[in-house]
Amino acid sequence: MTVTPPGQDDGKTARKVVFNFFILYNARIFLKNEAKRVWIFSYRYMRKEWLIMQKITLTRLFVLLALVSLLSAGCAKKAAQDESQMTEGTQAVEETQMQDQQISAVEEQQVSDVVAGDTASGMQEAVLRVRDLSRIYFDFDQYVLTKTAQDTLYANAQVLKAAPEVKIVVEGHCDERGSDEYNLALGEKRAVATKNYLISLGVPAEQMGTISYGEEVPLDMGHSEEAWAKNRRAEFTLQR
């Protein structure tokens, strides 16, 4: 049996450790280089495939554009022919329409002249009818109709019923005494009372409207009892 000296065994172990480390280090470098070569190969392959796909796509695009251009040229030529034919037909139709419009314009002008004459005549008659309506007066701070006012409204009702096409506005007025708000309200009551009485006499409600001017439109600009008595009134105007 051979006995190994103590120092000799430690030397062998150290050489094995160094050898194994060298093997592992070289293996790591080898694997790293292989991985790098695989990545470079993959990148080149994918880039080559991408360039090929781009060329194919561009080729297809050029072919498609060429087909579209050919179709557009054919359609444009056909459209130009159709447009030329349509233009000729349209010109003929327009000439006929212009002749018809000229005839219609002459006829419409004649009808308009007649209607305008009738309208002016009707408006003048309506104004004359309204002028036949008499104003009525109220007592101080009152909107109740006096006997004189009722008699006047009876005569006015006969005029309105004889001309149902005439539309009027019943205006309520006050004297200058009292506030603006109070007189506006009082004027409205006077106009409504007048309208309601005319309705009771047979005048259609839709033939009349009402408005209140309060003290804003005096008939007499004076400041006496006589002037105030004239301003407490209801008047009738043509509805525009």
pLDDT in tens, 160-210: 999 999 999 999 999 999 999 999 999 999 999 999 999 999 999 999 999
Q: Rounded CA gap, 213 and 142, in Å?
A: 16
Q: What is the pLDDT of residues 93-113, one digit of tens each?
A: 677 677 667 656 655 665 445
CA 146 to CA 187: how far, in whole Å? 16
User: 234 — phi, psi (to 5°)?
Assistant: -130, 130
Q: What does the angle CA 169 – CA 170 – CA 174 come to, to the nearest 5 degrees?
A: 135
pLDDT band at 25 (very low <50, low <70, confident <90, very high): confident
Phi-psi region of 204 (alpha: psi -120 to 50; beta: other; left: phi over 0): beta
Q: Per residue in 111-149, pLDDT tens?
A: 445 444 455 555 677 677 788 899 999 999 999 999 999
CA distance 148 to 134: 11
What's the pLDDT band for 13 if we cut at 50, 70, 90? confident
| pLDDT > 90: percent of the chain | 44
Tokens standing for 93? Answer: 């139709």
> Rounded to an integer, what distance in angstroms lies between the CA atom of residue 214 and that of residue 220?
14
Provide the token pair at 117.
């004459």
Note the helical H segments in the chain: 6-131, 147-162, 180-200, 225-231
Total residue count of the chain as it appears in this document: 240
Q: Global pTM? A: 0.51
Instruction: Show the tokens assigned to 71.
Output: 């179709």
CA distances from 158 to 123, 161, 195, 196 (A): 19, 5, 14, 15
